Structures are given as C-alpha cells and as structure tokens.
Amino acid sequence: MSNSITILYFAGLAEQLGTRAETYTPATEVKTAGDLQAVISQRGGAWAAVGSEQTRIAVNQTLCKASAPVKAGDEVAFFPPVTGG
Amino acid sequence: MKWPSSPPLPAADVNTFIEVQEQDFSHAELYRALAHGTQAGAVVTFTGRVRDFVEATPGGQSMWLEHYPAMTEKTLNNIIERARERWPILDVSVVHRIGKLHPGDQIVFVGVSSAHRKAAFAASEFIMDFLKTEAPFWKKEGAHWVDAKASDSQAAADWGNTSITLNNDPATD
C-alpha cells in the first residue's frame, strides 16, 4: 500500500514548473487538496503558481474543491483552467 | 432550471460513445451510427473546428492539444450522464482530438439522438458547455497557451448548479 501521493501537473503550469509529475510523501498536516496546494506553492520561486487562484485541482481524476480530502495512494493533479472543445 | 417535459425513456438500448484520439473523425460515420433504428426522430450534431489563431505565431500556425489521459473519458462520461438525467435522450457520441492540429481541422464532435428535437438540441449544448469548462484538455497555439474564457464558464453556470463546484468559485458554493 503506497504511503505517497502522486502529483501531476499539466499544460502551462507544468511548463512554468519544469515538471509534469512527482511522488510526494505527505506530512500528517496535509489533509485536504488545499493543504497540499499550499505546501507545494510555499516551496517558492515558480512553485508559487500552484497556489494561484486560477489553478484547478483534481483528486483521482475528478475536479474538486480545495476542501476535498486527500490521502496516501491518491492521484492529485494541478492545472490551469481547461480549454478544450 | 429546465426539466424534461416527458418521463425518461427506459435505459435499454441507449448507447454512449466516447473517443479521445489523434486522428481525424468522419462526421458522416458518426452521424450514421446515431441515426439508426426508429425511436430517434431527432439527431443533433455539433462539430468544433480550429480557427485562425488570434496571435501571429512564428513558424506557422500549429496547435497542440494536451490532455490528462486518465481523466478525459471519465469526465466526458460524467457530463453525458448528467445530460441523461435532465433530458430523455437516446444515443450520445463525443469525439475529441488531441495532439497536433492546424486551422481548418476538426477538433470535437458532439452528437445526440432523441425522440423529439428539444431534448437533442438542449442536451448537445449542455454537453459542449460542460466539456468546455470541465474536460481536461488544453490548447496551445504556437508558443502561447490559450486562456479559458469567462463566457464559457458563464455558459456552464447558466445551466444551473448541476456541475461539480470548482475549488475557487464561491459563487457556486
């Protein structure tokens, strides 16, 4: 059973960060998608973009609010507003 | 909020077809698949195409369609299910292309069949409005990532609070 969260980044955000994925082992204080978003953006530099008001979050391939719970084994994705269609 | 004027039809024998693919699609083929049998009195289709880019891009007009593979079909399925809950529709087909595209290319197809036209028109518009705001695709025109439009999120919001509320949108809480 995995004790880490898979984080994915897409589109312009991934380009800004220079990465598309990472494996993150959460501290116990990270309980929600918003908590994770804050921790990542506090790394500083380009990572602050993850905390932007524009950034959307999906947990296990479903769009969600910052209050959505996250736990080890989850896949969390951060991305800009979608522009398909 | 608009509700169907007749009770939902039985679930038997309705099809949902979703494809996310690099290659082009045939409108004729997709229409033929929707316009079968004798229950569907109405078939509505929408095709989205690549227009000329707003900003001049060096090296020609090449669009890149990025996507989140594990999430696209799941999201499109969810949107279609929500359309099925609201309208008495029969078959639904959605095809979305990914990868490299150019102005004049087809990007997306939405087709809906139903007994009568009102449901097919409404459901196809609903599906496109939520595809535009929820389906994880991102367009890049040359070196420039296209911005999401406020008019698209407004169109989705105008259908009423049937969508997943987004993390940064207090208006939908």
Pick from A57, A61, A80: which is nearest to B167 by CB? A57
The structure tokens listed for A77 are: 């994705």
Pick from B78, B137, B166: which is nearest to A84 by CB? B137
Q: Per residue in A30-44, pLDDT tens?
A: 999 999 999 999 999
User: For B12, which DSSP code?
Assistant: T
Give me the pLDDT at residue B172, please. Answer: 37
Q: Kindly identify which residue of chain B lies nearest to residue A51, measuring between CA atoms.
A: B168
The structure tokens listed for B61 are: 């007009």
User: Pick from B146, B136, B138, B139: which is nearest to B63 by CA?
Assistant: B139
The band of A2, judged by pLDDT with boundaries at 50, 70 and 90, is: confident
Predicted TM-score (pTM) of this structure: 0.89
Q: Per residue in B40-60, pLDDT tens?
A: 999 999 999 999 887 766 656
**Rounded-to-integer distance, Cα A84 and Cα B149, Å:** 11
Q: Kindly identify which residue of chain B lies nearest to residue A84, measuring between CA atoms.
A: B137
From the candidates B53, B71, B128, B146, which should be mutated to test the interface with A, based on the most A CB atoms within 10 A? B71
